[in-house]
Structure 1
Amino acid sequence: MVNSDHKRLKVAFLLAESFTLSAFANFVDVLRLAADEADRSRPILCDWGVLSDTMNPVRSSCGVRVSPDTRLRDAGAYDYVIVVGGLMSEETGLSAPMTTFLQDRAAKGTPLIGLCTGVFHLQEAGLLAGYRCCVSWFHHQDFLDRFETERPVSDQIFVVDRDRLTCSGGHGAAHLAAHLVSRHLGQSAAIKSLNIMMIDNALGGDRPQPGQSLDRQPRDPLVKRAVLLMQQNIEVPLTVAALADRLDTPRRTLLRRFEADLAASPSRVYMDLRLDRALSKLASSDAPIPEVAQLCGFCDSAHLSKTLKQDRGWTPSQYRAAKRAAPPQP
């Protein structure tokens, strides 16, 4: 093996309990494929490892366990230290020694990366003060609830702010890894990795995150970002003017781009999202109808019932009853 001092990119991972395996695997595979010719997996141009204070295998959210290979006290120098998060509960944080390690490396100037809910762990460790950070649209409200004074970016796949890099997770982890490979090894190495992984093109961090499924799939990046904002603000819907202001674009431009891309107004798309969310909650939970109405941005159950009946032909009670009476899908 080539001496590790000659590696052009060295990273270390800290895995939170119940971490997201796909985010970790996507990131590592981009490094693996960039580190050698073809896909022979020799760590020639870059190196990676998993650090731990206990060396016990770490269980991912899907049950697969990953064994660390280096104790924290034996950790060397790294270009980046990456925290991979996953499920969120009181039992899934980082250990005190891991947090201390991160704080020590940050003080020494090592760039830190948060993958998936790894951004929560960096925030809890006090390592994102004054930085922009990226959170999945799915966890946007969770982040606001936990860190009331923070305003995360939830309409991009990753954010690079000086020596803090944060990523929404999923395939975004591969694109952030490709960004680093391009920076340290060159663009051709990044493109090769993604192509072998059957990912067509490297995406910049400002590309919109995918979100809740829509019948109309937006293609316009501005429209995608607007839809993500809608998804993040279902309980208290934003006005079209407020959406335009958040996106730093004129209201008329937003209206025109929605009509061109989706043949619908922002208000129509927003209503579809809210009604779809209401139907999903009615079908998948026993929440009282007034609660479902409130969670989906309606004044009360009567408002939801009237709107749903006019738009979809069901009242909430009728829809819930029909779903429960339907035979299970094979």
Structure 2
Amino acid sequence: MLRTVSVVVIDGIAPFEFGVVCEVFGIDRTEDGVPAFDFRVCGERPGEPLAMGVGAQLIPEYGLEALRDADLVAVPAARIRDEYPPEVLRALADAHERGATMLSVCSGVFLLGAAGLLEGRRCTSHWRYAAQVAERFPGARIDPDVLFVDEGDIITSAGTAAGIDTCLHLIRREFGSAAATAIARRMVVAPQREGGQRQFVAAPVPEQTADSLQPLLAWMLDHLDADHTVPSLAERTRVSERTFARRFVAETGTTPHRWLSTQRVLHARSLLEQTDLGIEHIARVCGFGTAALLRHHFRQVVGVTPADYRRAFSHAESGQPSASGR
């Protein structure tokens, strides 16, 4: 079970990518039903400041010895360089050999590669760095089109906002969709985005402006069983259908229909994990109407049938967390 999270920071650490890891794993969200993590920020020389490259410094509290019993070792993006600190690379390799799950955000994948952890592995990074990763680590199989790659014990993400998708995916993998959705709600981001880097979508964190669609999105989540259409939603927000559709894509990165279908699937996942409700009943309360339509959309988003998902992840009877999926 994932309990101890150690974040490795080096000189030139990227503040946003570091912040993503802190936001998902470093904040106590037990009141939302999310397990508490023993969260550690680790550097080669604890107590000494590291330049962040944006006119600020970061002081790690822990040394590299804090990786020795970590369940997860996260490596945020940092300035790419020809050589990385040997002690940091050795600590990463040792942690992986011991059995820790390794997670990189954006250019953090270069540290994993320099530590020898990408040989024969599929991985990803920001699309701008894909060719550079392939050149420096020819044994790695770089996929520049996806938001993240989960190889079980090594998880790599694309650039910036994709780190959010990756961290939420790991929470979902380890603790189920309810925990991931709880964190996503607090962060005001989509629990799960579709597609990959080819979309060049904007970050899924919407601007909090007066005309934000967040109140509408929250209302839709509370009424997933209703029949939502673009005309009815546009009328509710008191704008034209064309303006509504444009604003919806700009704020969520997808169309109203696809967003609603994904949210319905995510709700179905939660019900499959936590209840023993029948598939037909779940289809109705999630807004799909029929089990056949639920199966169709569920398989498109999740990749398996609702019944297969329930067999793998349901803990309604035992009350215990589902299998980690490793």
Q: Output the TM-score relative to the length of structure 1.
A: 0.55
Alignment of 1:159 with 2:134, yes or no, is no
Query: What is the rounded CA distance, in whole Å, between the counterparts of 1:175 and 1:73 in structure 2?
Result: 28
For residues 109 and 101 of structure 1, the distance between their equivalents in structure 2, rounded to whole angstroms, comes to 13
CA RMSD of aligned residues (A): 3.0
Match of 1:175 in 2: 165
Secondary structure in structure 2 of the residue aligned to 1:117: helix
Question: In 2, are the aligned partners of 1:15 and 1:83 still within 8 Å (CA)?
Answer: yes
Q: Give the alignment partner of residue 20 of structure 1, picking from 14, 18, 22.
A: 14
Q: Among residues 42, 47, 52, which one is paired with 1:51 in the alignment?
A: 42
Q: How far did 1:76 drift?
A: 4.7
Show the counterpart of 2:123.
133
Q: Is the 8 A contact 1:33 1:193 kept in 2?
A: no
Q: 1:157 Cα shift?
A: 0.8
Distance 1:54 1:197 in 2: 31
Residue 34 of structure 1 deviates from its aligned partner by: 6.3
What one-letter code is carried by the residue in structure 2 that aligns with 1:15? V
Which of 73, 87, 93 lines up with 1:97 in the alignment? 87
How far apart, CA to CA, are the structure 2 residues paired with 1:166 and 1:82? 10
Structure 1 residues 182-221: aligned runs within 5 Å: 182-203=172-193, 207-208=196-197, 210-211=199-200
In structure 2, the CA distance between the partners of 1:108 and 1:38, relative to structure 1 (3 Å rule), is closer
Taking the aligned partners of 1:200 and 1:208, their CA distance within structure 2 comes to 16
Stretches of structure 1 that go unaligned for 5 or more consecutive residues are 1-6, 221-330
Stretch of structure 1 that moved more, 27-36 or 131-140: 27-36
Structure showing greater Rg: 1
Tell me, which stretches of 5 or more residues in structure 2 are unaligned?
203-249, 256-326
Shift of 1:212: 9.0
The answer as to whether partners of 2:180 and 2:191 remain within 8 angstroms in 1 is no
* Aligned mate of 1:69, from 61, 72, 75: 61
1:36 maps to which of 5, 16, 30: 30
Contact 2:84 2:114 in 1 (8 A): no
Between the aligned partners of 1:156 and 1:54, the Cα distance in structure 2 is 35
Which ranges of 4 or more aligned residues in structure 1 deviate by more than 4 Å? 217-220
Instruction: In structure 2, give the amino acid aligned to 1:46.
Output: F
Conservation of the 8 A alpha-carbon contact between 1:30 and 1:190: no
Cα deviation, 1:293-314, whole Å, max 9, x if unaligned, reads xxxxxxxxxxxxxxxxxxxxxx
C-alpha displacement of 1:126? 1.0
Residue identity opposite 1:174 in structure 2: I
Q: What CA deviation, in whole Å up to 9, does each residue of 1:207-233 have, x standing for no partner?
A: 4454399xxx9969xxxxxxxxxxxxx
Residues 121-161 of structure 1: per-residue CA shift (max 9 Å, x gap): 11122111111011211112222333345441110111001
**3-state DSSP class of the match of 1:11?**
strand
CA deviations 1:166-185 (Å, max 9, x no partner) are: 01131111111111222333
The answer to whether 1:123 aligns with 2:123 is: no
> 2:52 corresponds to which residue?
60
Aligned sequence identity (%): 22
Question: Structure 1 residue 24: deviation in Å?
Answer: 1.4
CA offset at residue 99 of structure 1? 0.9
Q: What secondary structure does 1:159 align onto?
A: strand
1:275-290 counterparts in 2 under 5 A? none
User: In structure 2, do the counterparts of structure 1 residues 174 and 74 end up closer, same or farther at CA, with 3 Å as the change threshold?
Assistant: closer
Q: Which residue identity lines up with residue 45 of structure 2 in the other structure?
A: T
**Deviation for aligned residue 1:114:** 1.5
Q: Is the 8 A contact 2:18 2:77 kept in 1?
A: no
8 A Cα contact 2:49 2:60, kept in partner: yes
Note the C-alpha offset of 1:117.
Answer: 0.8
CA distance in 1, matches of 2:193, 2:112: 24
